[in-house]
Amino acid sequence: MHGTIPHDQLAKEGAAKVLIKPAAHGTGVIAGGSMRAVLESAGITDVLAKSLGSANPHNVVKATFKALGLLREPVAIAKTRSVS
């Protein structure tokens, strides 16, 4: 995926909500604190991210992991819809 994610994703853990969005090549990781560390550790190089709600770093990390876990590739979605 050239260092970005395939689509926007919103996830919630406790009172923390995170929104991650794909970004153009060369943008870098635009995220704060604990969310930046998780995204960089996952190998994502171009992404826009925003922490909404609580700023509790434990819940922000958990919500970020949940958002990354919910991502699906376009090929997998097309297969479930029986579309080429």
Name the residue ranges covered by the structural domains of the chain: 9-80
**SS3 category, 3:** coil
Confidence class of residue 2 from pLDDT cuts 50, 70 and 90?
confident
- String of DSSP letters for 4-69: S-SS-EEEEETTEEEEEEE--TT--EE--HHHHHHHHHTT--SEEEEEEE---HHHHHHHHHHHHH
Higher-scoring residue by pLDDT: 31, 2: 31
pLDDT digits (tens, 9 = 90+) for 10-41: 999 999 999 999 999 999 999 998 999 999 99
33 and 63 in contact (C-beta within 8 Å)?
no
| Residue 3: predicted pLDDT | 87
Threshold 0.85, pTM exceeds: yes
Report how far Cα 36 is from the mean position of its chain's Cα atoms.
Answer: 10
**SS3 category, 1:** coil
Span 9-80 CATH architecture: 2-Layer Sandwich (3.30)
